[in-house]
Structure 1
């Protein structure tokens, strides 16, 4: 199975299309014909790069998780305090949502997990584990510094925040609302701030 770091320019365009389709209609909602139309190539060319849709789905999730990890490192390098890091984290979701109410790739895949192949579910789980661990660390640091409420444990806050941000995207799309993840985080920070 390919790894996202091994992609040619042509394969990268296919992964871009797969990502956009997952964000709009989910893994089960698109076919290689949809990808071919978006990229402007024939289906056999897609099969040349990704013999199975499972492989394409795995690479999309791998790459998405990697980009998110890079963004988390950037936040750590530019924001010193936990509340500011949490706002910057929410902005990652907001930026995705602002593009025609797109959803988080792994949030969308997570919603389909009962019907997804195990290989894709493993990548989705990795995404959520990375996010929960990062949030726990930021919240624990904030609790130690006195900037984050200690009445609720860091693991509980981490799950609450991640669930709220993913949910904000779903609810916002359902309501066709401009209110997205950033506004939800702003509301939650009132509860979180010490």
Structure 2
């Protein structure tokens, strides 16, 4: 299977188109025909780059995880305070949601995980592990600094925070509300603050 770092410019365009479709319609809601129309190429050209949909989406999720890790590094570089880092983390979700009510790629795919190929499901699990590990460390730092209550384990707080952000995107789309992940994050953080 290919790796996202080995992609040609055309393969990148294909991945970009597929990502937008997944964020709006999920894995089972798009086809190579849909991607071909968006990119402006013929369907066989997609097969030249990605023989199967499973390969395309696996590489897409690898790239998504890599880019998200980059966002986490940017947050760490710009914000020293754990609370500022948590707010900046929510802003990443807000930015995605503000683009046509798009959902997080892995949040959308996670809802379909029972019907996904194993390779795709494994990459989604890796994305969530990267995020939960990072959030757990930030929650631990916030608890040690006396900024967040110690009545819950940092791991539980991390999982609750990520669930709240992913859920805010789904609820916001479903209810056509303007309240997005950033609003939910503020409520959550004010609730757990010491």
**Does the pair score TM above 0.5?**
yes
1:8 and 2:12 matched? no
Q: Distance in 2 between matches of 1:23 and 1:156?
A: 27
Q: Distance in 2 between matches of 1:81 and 1:191?
A: 18
Q: Distance in 2 between matches of 1:70 and 1:192?
A: 27
For structure 2, the residue ranges without an aligned partner over 5 or more in a row are: none
Greater than 4 Å deviation, 4+ residue runs: none
CA contact (8 A) 1:90 1:165 kept: yes
Question: Which residue number corresponds to residue 168 of structure 1?
Answer: 168
Question: Which residue number corresponds to residue 39 of structure 1?
Answer: 39
Alpha-carbon deviation of 1:151?
A: 1.1
Question: Which residue number corresponds to residue 100 of structure 2?
Answer: 100
Question: Which residue number corresponds to residue 28 of structure 1?
Answer: 28
Alpha-carbon deviation of 1:27?
A: 0.5
CA contact (8 A) 1:82 1:148 kept: no
Q: Secondary structure at the match of 2:13?
A: helix
The number of residue pairs the alignment matches comes to 194
For structure 1, the residue ranges without an aligned partner over 5 or more in a row are: none
Q: Secondary structure at the match of 2:150?
A: coil
Question: Which residue number corresponds to residue 70 of structure 1?
Answer: 70
1:124 and 2:124 matched? yes
CA contact (8 A) 1:90 1:182 kept: yes
Q: Secondary structure at the match of 2:87?
A: helix
Taking structure 1 as the reference length, the TM-score comes to: 0.99
Q: Distance in 1 between matches of 2:190 and 2:84?
A: 13
Question: Which residue number corresponds to residue 58 of structure 2?
Answer: 58
1:182 and 2:182 matched? yes
Q: Secondary structure at the match of 1:149?
A: coil
Alpha-carbon deviation of 1:146?
A: 1.0
What RMSD over aligned residues (CA atoms) do the two structures have, in Å?
0.5
Question: Which residue number corresponds to residue 146 of structure 2?
Answer: 146
Deviations 1:68-94 (A, max 9, x none): 000001111111111100000000100
Q: Secondary structure at the match of 1:37?
A: helix
Q: Distance in 2 between matches of 1:18 and 1:59?
A: 11
